[in-house]
Amino acid sequence: MLDQSAPQTGVRASGPLAGYRIVEFAGIGPGPFASMMLADMGADVVTLDRVGAKKNLKSVAGRGRKVVELDLKDKQALAQVLDLLGCADALIEGFRPGVMERLGLGPDVVLARNPKLVYGRMTGWGQEGPLAQAAGHDINYISLTGALAAIGPKERPIPPLNLVGDFGGGALYLVVGVLAALLEASKSGKGQVVDAAMVDGAASLISMFFDLAAMGRWVEGRENNFLDGGAHFYGVYECACGHFISIGSIEPQFYALLRQHAGLSDDAFDAQMDRNAWPTLKDKLEQVFKTKTREEWCKIMEGTDICFAPVLTMAEAPKHPHMAARNIFVERHGVTQPAPAPRFSRTPSVIREPEKMELGELVGAWNAAR
């Protein structure tokens, strides 16, 4: 089996998407992340960037790509791009609605050239709607879905990095949409447009919480529910050393183990699911966890069914025995970065070295291989 962490160059790509050709129009955030995932899984991904962009070919999100610099306003370059798209399986772009059309590369033009192409579009607000042409960032998109209002302490919402909008609700839904459309195209012989909007994806991600609300098991307001920091048995606690640990002892049997290993003999802890008791029990548990260091709690709880883990920094995470045993992080060009995910038993993903190419050379190579 190929080592998914080993850099590959000059060999046929490994991975379940080997043989697929994807053209990415350079952007930021979810588009490059989606393209990174597709490249890790073996797709031949070509990034078209503006002249002089000076992108770092060794960046994490840019790994595994061929990069071509060009001026899309140049008619000859535009003609070559259309030739390239004529040989491609999918396209990924993350411009505001209408930009690709103004460049002469809208879906109507491209699909007329290559009817089987999957045309992936990544935006925040979507291709239409009152806000479609407005600027925005992850924090704005998740604000409208209800997700941001549910995250953070009582005082105010806290942005969960840009994991929910850009990458969870954006890039991953774009990847799923492109792969689904490629599967369908293999049967029908017809491509289609994939409209991946972060507002759509982020809203989809919180489906379970709409379900819980409908059942009366979720109420408005942060730190009022069992998964948002309100419950004493599901949260983050500071230790004597100033570091933190996390517990998620939801199920009764796991909660019993928490009580056993933390010495919670106080009868007050019998009221696990009493919302009114949570603040008091949380205060009690805070004092308990401050009696020992994170390392000491790890020795007591890690590996049990308490549902426990130390809260590690990005610098600490790669060194944890479990993370190291699975090679979840690798080093490339002096940069520690996540290895490809998910894992495949027969066609493993690999990290391939990026390279710069000339557009004409690439068009010729793709045409020759058809």
Task: Kindly name the residue from 166, 200, 228, 232 that is annotated as catalytic.
Answer: 166
Strand segments, DSSP code E, in 143-233 are 192-197
Query: Could you give the CA distance from residue 194 to residue 122 in angstroms, rounded to a whole number?
Result: 8
Pairing status of strand 335-338 against strand 329-332: antiparallel
3-class DSSP state for residue 322? helix
Instruction: Give the CA distances from residue 117 to residues 40, 98, 130, 187, 239, in Å, rounded to whole numbers and listed in that order.
Output: 21, 19, 29, 13, 54
Query: Could you give the CA distance from residue 355 to residue 61 in angstroms, rounded to a whole number?
Result: 14
With b for 16 or more beta-carbon neighbours within 10 A and e for fewer, the 238-268 pattern comes to ebeeebbbebbbeeeebbebbbeebebeeee
Tokens of residue 136, six digits: 């925005």
Q: Which helix (DSSP H) or strand (DSSP E) does residue 329 occupy? A: strand 329-332
137 included as an active-site residue:
yes
Q: Using alpha carbons, select from 236, 239, 222, 226 the residue that is nearest to residue 278.
A: 226
Which residues, in sequence order, are bridge partners of residue 238? 244
270 included as an active-site residue:
no
Any idea how long the chain is? 370
Query: Could you give the CA distance from residue 324 to residue 110 in angstroms, rounded to a whole number?
Result: 45
Q: Are 74 and 43 in contact (CB under 8 A)?
A: no
Upper half-sphere CA count for residue 291 (Cβ side, 13 Å): 7
Task: Kindly name the residue from 3, 137, 243, 261 that is annotated as catalytic.
Answer: 137
* Enzyme catalytic residues: 137, 166
